[in-house]
Amino acid sequence: MAGALQAMSLTVVGAQFPNADGSDRRFEILLCPPGEAIELRPEPTNKHDPLAIAVYSARGVQIGYLSAERCGRIGQLMRLGHEVRAIFQGVSESGTWIRVAFDGEAPELPSSSPMSARDQDHGEPADDQFYPDEEWPDF
């Protein structure tokens, strides 16, 4: 792979669904402080999406999944042996954000969160708060 992979913020979705053990994902998200370690677990036997990657808190409670747009590439990197480390970044309306870093790098919280400044009319991150991710090839 050419060049170092850059750290990025990723959306975690599915917080509104209960876990199989009955635990509440939204409640667990509220227990996560920014910077806390997060675990990513590929789910190749997931009946809805074999590329799904579940996201777990430091206490081992599932808080959701990486968005479908990202789990394919992140899963591919994991299968190829790239170390992917993640930390909790913050709460969003749809669930949460995490920060990931690759190949032994420690993820660090950005100086400001992508969800901290909202456009008054649309509820979207303000332009100066957008953190673009690198473009990855389709596979």
The domain limits of the chain are 1-75
| pLDDT exceeds 70 at position 40 | yes
pLDDT confidence of residue 121: 38
- Model's pTM, two decimal places? 0.79
120 against 99, higher pLDDT: 99
Tell me the mean pLDDT in the region 4-27.
93
Residue 95's pLDDT is: 83
Query: What is the reported pLDDT for 52?
Result: 96
Residue 128 pLDDT: 41
Confidence of residue 119 (pLDDT cuts 50, 70, 90): very low
Mean pLDDT across 113-135: 44
Give the residue-averaged pLDDT of 85-95: 90
Query: Worst-scoring range by mean pLDDT, 11-20, 83-92, 120-129?
Result: 120-129
Question: What would the CATH number be for the domain defined by 1-75?
Answer: 3.30.70.2330
E strands, 27-132, are: 37-42, 53-56, 62-66, 84-92, 95-102
Check whether 70 has a pLDDT greater than 60. Answer: yes
Helices (H) and strands (E) in the chain, counts: 2, 6
Q: What number of CA atoms fall less than 13 Å from residue 70's CA on the CB side? A: 19
pLDDT at position 124 = 41
Contact status, residue 41 vs residue 54, Cβ threshold 8 Å = yes
pLDDT > 90: percent of the chain? 69
